[in-house]
């Protein structure tokens, strides 16, 4: 990959300017500037719809060395508003590589910066919180002009990005995870019928559901409860996605009508939407949890998971417990809620990504827990608190 020498900047809403060079699309872009601490998996992160509307800063110092492979994408295209790295690799070396990172980003119209002091940028975001930023390629506009237009852009809070990030019409998913991947659950003789509410789902989540013995029918966020129940599901899954969960009003109202009908399982944004539908509240984290090394304690099994996470909002614990739920998982870095279960209905959610498996694979068993709840429902057994 030939890295462009065109000068480029990222300007934060507090007026801080970081300068480097462009190696992606030669255009401007604005969004919420966030950082991810994962050492690998840049392509999966860039195509994760949960990053929609955000400028992603990667803390790993050398990015792009293994190129891009279409099989590793989590959606059809890059979802980020921009990418910032310390050093973009000049050469890609991987037998699976199909394209270099800079060319791939450029083809999809995503600007990217290299030569940025990412350590200083991350320290700024940790101190001041995630903030709006704008990537500018070239020197046609002054910093003051860029800052003025940046401050006119909307905040991430209050935006329903999930409705746009998810699919626009119903569909299905039949691709499973690779044969070498550990089974997420026992496969039944008769597959479980799962309706997945797509808020911007990662492909690997659906692969794990199929591997666990599910037939997955996908529907947009705005689908009515009646429309979902008409599909005769044995389980309802709510996916990850971007933006402020409290702004996804149609999804929350739909979930309220589905409580208790069949087992329900949510991941990331889906976890937040389930909590909101039950009457709990959410709040915005200062700089979010984004990375593949996030420690979580499973309170029920008394064990630690190393998890992959990508979210800027979380569920308030006191409000969750006030509506009849118990916390099942806790983030060990800051004590925030990482999972919950309703005490009397088969509703369970986790804030992390069990399908991402950043080395350890044990969290994938949560998909098996979902199928266990559906198996009990199929047999007519009690559903109270038995979602996994």
What are the tens digits of pLDDT across the range 58-86? 999 999 999 999 988 999 999 999 999 99
- Residue 338 is encoded by which pair of tokens? 């990482």
Q: How sure is the predictor about 177, in pLDDT bands with cuts at 50, 70 and 90? A: confident
On whether residue 155 sits in a domain, the answer given is no
CA distance 166 to 164: 6
Place of tokens 């709840």: 373
pLDDT digits 0-9 by tens, 101-127: 999 999 999 999 999 999 999 999 999
> What sign for the dihedral angle of Cα 139, 144, 147, 152?
negative
**Whether the predicted pLDDT of 382 surpasses 80:** no
Give the list of residues 6+ apart from residue 318 with CB closer than 8 angstroms, or none: none
Mean pLDDT (the chain) is: 91
pLDDT in the model for residue 187: 64
When mean pLDDT is compared across 18-27, 277-286, 360-369, the lowest value belongs to: 360-369
Measured in Å, how far apart are the chain's first and last C-alpha atoms? 47
47 and 146 co-located in one domain: yes
Kindly report the CATH number assigned to the domain that includes residue 23: 3.50.30.20
Instruction: Give the CA distances from residue 305 to residues 287, 298, 309, 337, in Å, rounded to whole numbers and listed in that order.
Output: 21, 7, 12, 14
User: What integer pLDDT is reported at residue 186 of this predicted model?
Assistant: 56
**HEC profile of 8-71:** EEEEECCCCEEEEEECCCCCCEEEEEEEECCCCCHHHHHCCHHHCCEEEEECCCEECCCCECHH
Same domain, 201 and 97: no
Distance, CA of 338 to CA of 97 (rounded, Å):
35
- Are 193 and 75 part of one and the same domain? no
Q: Which residues are catalytic?
A: 268, 353, 355
Instruction: Provide the pLDDT confidence category of residue 5 given band limits of 50, 70 and 90.
Output: low
pLDDT for the residue numbered 153: 85
- Tell whether the model's pLDDT for residue 388 goes beyond 50: no
Residue 2 lies in a domain: no
Residue 179: pLDDT above 80? no
Q: Which domain holds residue 207?
A: 162-378
Does position 2 have pLDDT exceeding 50, yes or no? Answer: no
Q: What's the whole-number mean pLDDT along residues 161-190?
A: 75
For residues 270 and 350, state if they share a domain: yes
Same domain, 80 and 110: yes
Within a domain: residue 208?
yes
Calculated CA dihedral for residues 363, 364, 368, 373, nearest 10 degrees? 50
pLDDT of residue 167: 87
Q: Does 180 reside within a domain?
A: yes
Q: What is the Cα 151 distance to its own chain's centre?
A: 26
The C-alpha atoms of residue 4 and residue 364 are separated, in whole angstroms, by 41
Cβ 41 vs Cβ 147: under 8 Å: no
In this structure, are 145 and 185 located in the same domain? no
Task: For 208-219, write each residue's pLDDT tens digit.
Answer: 999 999 999 999
State the maximum Cα–Cα separation within the chain, in Å, rounded to a whole number. Answer: 67
Q: What is the pLDDT of residues 259-290, one digit of tens each?
A: 999 999 999 999 999 999 999 999 999 999 99
Evaluate whether residue 289 is within a structural domain: yes
CATH of residue 337: 3.40.50.880
Q: Which pTM does this prediction carry? A: 0.93
For the chain, the domain total comes to 2
213/333 same-domain check: yes
The answer to which of 147-151, 180-184, 224-228, 341-345 has the lowest mean pLDDT is 180-184
Residue 376 CA to residue 317 CA, distance in Å, equals: 28
As a whole number of angstroms, the distance between CA 191 and CA 189 comes to 6
E strands, the chain, where? 7-12, 17-22, 29-36, 54-58, 62-63, 82-84, 87-88, 112-114, 131-137, 171-173, 192-198, 214-220, 235-238, 264-267, 282-298, 303-315, 325-331, 337-342, 347-350
- Tell me, yes or no, whether 124 lies in a domain: yes
Residue 94 falls within a domain, yes or no?
Answer: yes
Which pLDDT score, from 0 to 100, does residue 118 have?
97
**Assigned token pair, 129:** 């919180």
150, 184, 219 — which closes off a domain? 150
Mean pLDDT, range 321-328, rounded to an integer: 98
| Pair 111, 226 in one domain | no
- For residue 385, the model assigns a pLDDT of 46
What pLDDT score does 375 carry? Answer: 93
């Amino acid at each position: 990959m030939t890295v462009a020498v065109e000068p480029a900047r990222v300007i934060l809403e507090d007026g801080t300017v970081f300068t480097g060079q462009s190696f992606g699309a030669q255009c401007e872009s604005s969004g919420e500037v966030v950082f991810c601490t994962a050492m690998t998996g840049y392509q999966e992160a860039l195509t994760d719809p949960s990053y929609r509307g955000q400028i992603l800063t990667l803390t790993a110092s050398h990015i792009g060395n293994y190129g891009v492979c279409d099989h590793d994408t989590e959606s059809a295209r890059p979802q980020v508003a921009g990418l910032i790295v310390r050093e973009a690799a000049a050469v890609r070396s991987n037998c699976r590589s199909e394209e270099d990172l800079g060319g791939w980003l450029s083809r999809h119209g995503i600007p990217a910066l290299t030569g940025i002091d990412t350590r200083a940028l991350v320290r700024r975001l940790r101190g001041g919180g995630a903030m709006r930023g704008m990537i500018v390629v070239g020197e046609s506009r002054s910093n003051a002009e860029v800052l003025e237009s940046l401050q006119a852009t909307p905040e991430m809070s209050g935006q329903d990005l999930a409705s746009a990030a998810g699919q626009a019409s119903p569909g299905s998913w039949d691709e499973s995870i690779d044969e070498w991947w550990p089974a997420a659950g026992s496969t039944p003789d008769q597959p479980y019928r799962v309706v997945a509410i797509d808020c911007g789902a990662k492909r690997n989540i659906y692969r794990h559901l199929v591997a666990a013995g599910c037939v997955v029918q996908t529907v947009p966020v705005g689908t009515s409860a009646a429309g979902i129940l008409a599909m005769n599901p044995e389980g309802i899954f709510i996916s990850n996605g971007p933006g402020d969960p409290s702004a996804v009003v149609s999804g929350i109202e739909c979930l309220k009508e589905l409580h208790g009908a069949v087992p329900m399982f949510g991941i990331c944004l889906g976890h937040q939407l389930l909590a909101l539908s039950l009457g709990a509240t959410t709040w915005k984290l200062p700089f979010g949890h984004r990375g593949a090394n996030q420690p979580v304690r499973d309170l029920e099994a008394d064990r630690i998971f190393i998890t992959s996470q990508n979210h800027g909002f979380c569920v308030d614990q006191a409000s969750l417990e006030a509506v009849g739920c118990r916390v099942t998982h806790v983030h060990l870095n800051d004590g925030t809620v990482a999972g919950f279960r309703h005490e009397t209905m088969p509703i369970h959610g986790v804030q992390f990504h069990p399908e991402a498996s950043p080395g350890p694979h044990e969290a994938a068993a949560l998909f098996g827990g979902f199928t266990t709840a559906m198996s009990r429902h199929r047999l007519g057994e009690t559903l109270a608190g038995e979602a996994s």
